[in-house]
């Protein structure tokens, strides 16, 4: 089991899949043991129950969900920087996640 679990949420779960791949490569390069996965906003509650992530990161297009998730979750909830998301900068998004979890 991975040391850290990072969950990404976007409108359909598809646009974040490339970002997940880049984040996983960055994690491997930095020796970070992390399970990183993406899901659609409509399935987020199911995945939260199933995977118990350490952080929830929202794609910019679903930033409106931030308050809702922060109210009901006891984990960090962050909106991915729009520029990092658009550039699919897995390294920067991973660093943001780790920082928010107090890991780096």
Provide the residue range defining the domain that includes 19. Answer: 4-102
For residues 7 and 53, is the Cβ–Cβ distance under 8 A?
yes
Q: Is the pLDDT of residue 4 over 70?
A: yes
For residues 8 and 19, is the Cβ–Cβ distance under 8 A?
yes
For residues 92 and 23, is the Cβ–Cβ distance under 8 A?
no
Structure confidence by residue, pLDDT tens digits, 20-72: 999 999 999 999 999 999 999 999 999 999 999 999 999 999 999 999 999 99
For residues 22 and 15, is the Cβ–Cβ distance under 8 A?
no
Taking Cα atoms as reference points, which of 13, 34, 39, 30 lies closest to residue 91? 30
| Domain CATH number, residue 75 | 3.40.50.2300
For residues 57 and 28, is the Cβ–Cβ distance under 8 A?
no
Q: Is the pLDDT of residue 73 over 80?
A: yes
Catalytic residue set: 10
Question: Within its chain, how far is the Cα of 1 from the centroid?
Answer: 17
- Model's pTM, two decimal places? 0.94
Number of domains in the chain: 1
């Amino acid at each position: 089991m991975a040391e850290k679990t990072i969950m990404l949420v976007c409108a359909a779960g598809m646009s974040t899949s490339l970002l997940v791949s880049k984040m996983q490569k960055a994690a491997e390069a930095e020796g970070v043991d992390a399970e990183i996965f993406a899901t659609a906003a409509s399935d987020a509650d199911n995945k939260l129950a199933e995977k118990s992530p350490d952080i929830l990161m929202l794609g910019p297009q679903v930033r409106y969900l931030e308050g809702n998730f922060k109210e009901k979750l006891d984990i960090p909830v962050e909106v991915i920087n729009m520029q990092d998301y658009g550039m699919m900068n897995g390294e920067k998004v991973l660093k943001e996640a780790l920082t928010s979890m107090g890991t780096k």
